[in-house]
Amino acid sequence: MKFFITLIAFGSLAFGGNFTLESDTLKGQLTKAEEFGGFGCSGKNISPELHWTNAPKGTKSFAITVYDPDAPTGSGWWHWQVVNIPADAKGIAANASAEHKLPKGAVETMTDYGFSGFGGACPPKGHGPHMYIFTVYALDTDKLDLNDKSDSAVVGYNINAHTIQKATVVSYYQRD
């Protein structure tokens, strides 16, 4: 245990500040606002407001993902992937996906719903609570060579190959 705590402390010192993701709209539980409008769900499909602080030194761009590891697919479900967010961005506004108000140059890639853009929570009825992992990645490159048709596995590979540090917020949602 002592080794683990020492490793965490060293990791924080090595990266400088405490890279943090927060949201004024996300809470511990998602609402109908973030629920998908389709696949049997009747939500508003509003992408949440997200903001981050203390990006690590060397950050040249950011990426955002939303992932549900509890989806009954065997491989989870990608709800949103945004790349090429400029290094001077500090966050994104609520409903930025639908209103096309992402930072200039940002690209929304393909989700598991089969389109690019935000696809909200829509767990199967009675399947219990699903975890939704909202992550911002600080990247060591100013641009990933991806577009709105890029597949989630290819996007994930490229993000992971260039990640300096990441920060996460977790929320839950279920339909009864």
- What per-residue confidence (pLDDT) applies to 138? 98
Average pLDDT over residues 116-122: 98
CB 152 within 8 A of CB 83: no
What's the CA gap between 41 and 25, in Å, rounded?
20
The pTM assigned to this predicted structure is 0.90
- Catalogue all structural domains in the chain, each as residue range(s) with its CATH number: 16-173 (3.90.280.10)
Digit-coded pLDDT (tens) for 80-112: 999 999 999 999 999 999 999 999 999 999 999
- What per-residue confidence (pLDDT) applies to 17? 74
